[in-house]
Every structure is written in structure tokens, then in C-alpha cells.
Amino acid sequence: MADEKPGKRIPTGRLARVGRLGALAGRIATNVVTQGAGQWMKGERPQLSSLLLTPGNITRIADQLATMRGAAMKVGQLISMDGGDFLPPELAEILARLREDAEPMPKAQLIEVLDNNWGKGWQDRLLYFSFAPVAAASIGQVHKAITMDGETLAIKVQYPGIKDSINADVDNVASLIRLSGLIPKDIALNTILEDAKIQLHQEAEYQREAEMLSRYAAYCDDSPLFVTPTVYPTLTTDTVLAMSYLNGDPIEHLQSEDQSVRNNVMSSLLRLFFQEVFDFRLLQSDPNLANYRYQKDTGKVVLLDFGATREIPASISDGYRTLLQAAYDNDAALMRTTALKLGLMLDTHSPRQQDAVVEMGLTACESVRVDSPYDFGKTDLMLRLHEMGMSLTYENNFWHVPPADALFIHRKLGGLFLLAKRLGAQVDMQEVASPWISTPDS
């Protein structure tokens, strides 16, 4: 058995978790009063936001949320991805820190969780179990184990108390973030938070994740490009997921590979995205780079973490296929009618607002109109989209939040675009998208 890493015990009860946030708010309030009084003594008029978001308070907030894990940590991740373009730098710093790995559970708490799931004496039924996690994130942490018959497994253990605290954690953290007064009131934060609650409840159901993993794996069984873990059902429970352990390097290591290798891997990942939306109608919606590993010896990409897998309704799938065709044809009229049908914008939005949404959509898909490899490493597409998004929001007063399915599709595609840029990949997007678009020659 391997040595444990140091960790902080996770508060499991609702009162304990609320108390953590209450104590944090109290410490921040004390700092606000102390610093505010000092500024008044100097004849200065302090601003509440500047007192709340001092470097010390930023550290306190981020550390407390990371210690609580679960929804307290995940909601920060989701808000930072959905509203990051509109957040002030101070809040963006807090939320960005929550995208880092969390501290692991201490060994005693981990044993307690596994005793409750596997029964006491479980260690005697394994040849090896590493108490030091190989990964620790918002909902759970992953450990390596070897069965008596020599099979190496990855054991995903959910943090205790997470499932029962999701709704309260989301609400409490939202209140803490709103306390800053720096999030624009027009941002539909409640919509994002409700979507976060739904996703978190799904991610906390490990039997559901096992089912989604098995369904997704069936699509990849004969793939020469991708490999997925196999569920180990005898050790899988509602809060412990056992699956085969797959080796692989972090996907970022591809940066040192030849251009052709980077191009092929990125082309495969983008083609897989289209398959998810249009063929499988099953989307692994979390674009975290840790969910991809690269096996240099086999040339395959390991796909991990299916807790955030979503079923895509036929209407959404068909609508996005029409959007793809509109983008390829540079057909603004078709993109407008389809975006309205999908709820990406509303009839009540002004013609100017609708024009801006359509222009942004056509720009986002410019790569499919290029009849040669699109150089993600050199494009300024993400910068242009950011500027268009800021203009759409602040100049055109567009504060509409699309349906949840659309948000998750956009998040996944955005994550893939960022990975393509990091790898400096050159991808023939017309070739990648060709099975789902009609061309003059087809």
C-alpha cells in the first residue's frame, strides 16, 4: 500500500459546509471593516469591491472553496467558463484557481468512505491500493489499484457529503460571489447555476457515469484512434467507480511531437466532436485537458471522465447540423432562422442584436470555409470572438443565455479550439466536417 499525500478533511454535513462559508464571510467582513476604517482615517472614500477583493481575501476565498470541493469548487469552474469574458480580473483569478486540482482527502477519511462502500477488510481483497491519488478534482479523486488476478484498475472515489450538499453549496457560493457586486446584474446567473446543479447531480451518480462510459465505449470499440476504460462492475457503487487503468501522457505533451502527429490527433478529436453531436447524440461535455491522454506507443488518445456526458436531443443535433451547413455556405439567412429555432437568440431581440449573433456564428465557423488546412496556432480567432462577444454584450446589450444543451456544445467546441491552438495544429476542417455537410460535388 502506497503512502498517503497530506490533505484536509472535507466537511460532510450541510451545517458544517454552511459554517465554513459563514466563517469565511466573517473573516472577510472583519478585513473589510479594518481596512475601510484605515482608509477613512486617511480621508479616503473606500469602495466596497476594492475592500472585498484584496489579494488576501482572494486567497481566502479560493482556498476555502478548494477545500470544500464539490459544488463549491465546481460552480466556480462553471461560472468562469460561462461568464469569464464578463468577470473582473479579481473574480476571474479566484475562479481560475478553482480549475486546478483540489487537495486530496486524508487517508483516514478515504478509508472510511471505502469501508462504507466495499465493507471492512477490503484491503485484504486487493493485491495493491495506492492511497496517494493519481488525480484529485472537484467531485472525487482517483486511485490506482491491482486486483488479486493482476488487473490494474483506476478507482474513482467521490468526496463524502458532496451529493447531499450540491444545491446548498451552489446557492451559498453564488451568494458569496454576488457579494462582490462586480458581476453585471443583467447576466442570467440563475440560469447558469440551475444548469450547474443539474450537471453536478448527474456527475455525482457514479452508476450513471458507468452506464454512460459503457455506452460511449461501444461507439469506440473498433476505433484505431481512441481507447476508453472498461467498467469493473463488482467494485462499482453509487459513489465509487472502478474501471480499467489506462496509461498515457498528458495531451499537452503532443507539443513536442511532429507537426503531422499533432495535426492527425487534433483532426481526430474534432471529427469525434461532430460524431458526438450528429451521430452518437452523446456528448462528453467537459473540455478539461486532463480528460485526454496520449499513448505514444499506440498513437491512440485515451478518453477519460464521463460524468458530464449528455444525451443530445434530436432537435438540437439536427439544428446544429443545419448551422454547420449555413456556416459552410456562408448563409447568414439560414443561420439566423436556425439560431432562432434553437433559442440561441429570440424574436424579441432587435435586428441589430440578431445581426451581431449571426456574424459571430459565421466567424466562429470560418475554418469550414477554408479549402486548405486551418492553422489554429496562428489564427487570432479566439481573440476576435472575445472582442465580438464583449461588443455583443456591452454595446448591443445582449444578455441572453442559450439553452443548456447549446452551452455545453459550445463549451466542448471551445475547449477543443483552445487545445488545437496550444498544439499549433493545422486541420483541414472541410475534410473533417465533410460527412455532415453538402458540397457542390456531393
Query: Active-site residues: which are they?
Result: 286
For 231-234, the CB contacts below 8 A with 24+ separation are: 232/151, 232/153
| Residue 59 to residue 36: CA distance in whole angstroms | 19
